[in-house]
Amino acid sequence: MADSELEVELIHAYRPLQAFDMVLLPGSKTVMNDLRWLKNQGLFNEIKAFNKPIFGLCGGYQMLCQNLNDPDTLEHNTPGSVTGFGFIDDDVVYQNPKVLASGSYSLFSYSIKGYEIHYGRMNRYPLYYQSPQVSGTHVHGVFDDGDFRSHYFKAINSAYQGYDYRNYREAQIQQFTDRVAENIDISALLGVLQAES
């Protein structure tokens, strides 16, 4: 993991969660099906009883609501509804058109660059929600922001020093482009592409 102060564990089956400092519910392409999976595994009840920070991103954010409804089968094979965690007093309805947006968002008292890609709509908290224990947003990239990241994790553990993820990402991209430039004849490749167009 890039940030050596954090240890992330993916949960693939039931296990008690109280040993963890927080729960992060990530995005999902089939949110209602994944919510049913959490219930079938017994993890739904574990998360409901979790008394430490919970954060939902995009589909994970939608799971935090009261009810999720997909009447037009936009994300699921059959129309239907499912009960969410109920941490957020709002409902999710999957509707066209799909929200596709990017830019600078005012979230959690920070200006954060990110993007949205979702069918799910929420009336009361369309962009983000924050309470002392439960938070979430439809915006991807929120933890890329160093200021928000430091604030959020320091609230969990005051010893957290912070990490500049954006610099790390830029360095990784530069390493990749350097490796491509060293191993691929770009001039020859461009010549082939121009000949075909």
Residue 58 designated active-site: yes
Residue type, 41: Q
- Of 12, 118, 138, 140, catalytic: 140
> Strand 23-25's sheet: what is its strand order?
23-25, 54-57, 134-137, 128-130
Residue 65 designated active-site: no
Task: Write out the E strands in 32-187.
Answer: 54-57, 65-70, 80-83, 88-107, 110-122, 128-130, 134-137
Task: Write out the E strands in 74-194.
Answer: 80-83, 88-107, 110-122, 128-130, 134-137
- Of 12, 58, 65, 118, catalytic: 58
- Catalytic residues, by residue number, are 58, 140
